[in-house]
A and B are shown apart, each in its own frame.
Chain A
C-alpha cells in the first residue's frame, strides 16, 4: 500500500538553526514527491517537487530511493518559515493526479 509518514507532529527550532522535516514513503514504483506548506491563515500551496531539483525559500529536498525518504532541509531557519508542512506522494501512472499526504509537521521557529 502507498503511504507517506511524517514522524514528527511538531518541530521547534531557534532562528538560524538548521531544520530537517522528515518524510518517508512506501511505494514500490516510481514516485513523484512534493512538499506543500500552509502558513497561518493562508491556503495550502506547493513548496517544491522532487523532479525539479529546485531550492525554494532556501529549502531543498532530495529523493533517496534506497531509504525511501524525501526529507525537507534548510540550513538556517527563519521565523517566517513557521508553518504546517505536508509531504505528498503521487503514483507516476495514477490517472487523476491523486496525491497521498502525510500527517503533517508543524514547524515553529523561535526568535
Chain B
C-alpha cells in the first residue's frame, strides 16, 4: 500500500516566517505534488515534480518554492509566510505512466499563519 507521509498535521507560524512542509513517499514514485485545499475552491496545484531536482509551477506558485533533492522527498517552502497562506496543504505522489495512474495523498497539513 502506498504511503505518503506529511511531517505535521497541524502547524502554527507567524507572518514573515520561513515555513517548511515536508512530504515523503515510500513507493518510488516519480511524480510528486503540492496542493492547497480551500472550501469552495477545491484543490489547487502549487508545484509538482516529475523527477529529482525537476520542478514545475502549478496554478498558484506565487509565494512558494519547492525542493526535491531525493526521489522520495518533496518539500514545500513558504519564503515569507502571510495570512492568506493559511490553508490545508496536501501532498501527493504518482507513478509515471501514460495510462491511468492515480495520485496517492497524504493526510494533509493544516497551516495557520498568525
**A interface with B by C-beta (< 8 Å):** 6, 9, 32, 34, 43-46, 49, 51-52, 86, 92, 95-104
Contact = CB atoms under 8 A, between A and B. Distances in A.
Q: Which of A9, A52, A103: most chain B CB closer than 10 A?
A: A103
B56 A45 contact: no
Nearest to A48: B102
25 contacts: A32-B99, A32-B100, A43-B105, A43-B107, A43-B108, A46-B102, A49-B100, A49-B102, A51-B99, A51-B100, A52-B100, A86-B43, A96-B49, A96-B96, A97-B31, A97-B94, A97-B96, A97-B101, A98-B48, A98-B56, A98-B58, A99-B45, A101-B42, A103-B41, A104-B42
A102 B103 CA distance: 15
A6 B41 CA distance: 11
Contacts of A96: 31, 48-50, 56, 96
Interface of B: 31, 33, 35, 40-45, 48-50, 56, 58, 90, 92, 94-108
A34 B99 CA distance: 12
Nearest to B35: A101
A18 B92 CA distance: 32
Contacts of A52: 100
Nearest to A47: B102
A99 B103 contact: yes
A44 to B, nearest CB: 4
A43 B90 CA distance: 9
A90 to B, nearest CB: 8
A86 B42 contact: yes
A43 B96 contact: no
Contacts of B92: 44
B71 to A, nearest CB: 14
Given A44-B90, A45-B105, A9 B50 contact: no
Contacts of B100: 32, 49, 51-52
Nearest to A93: B98
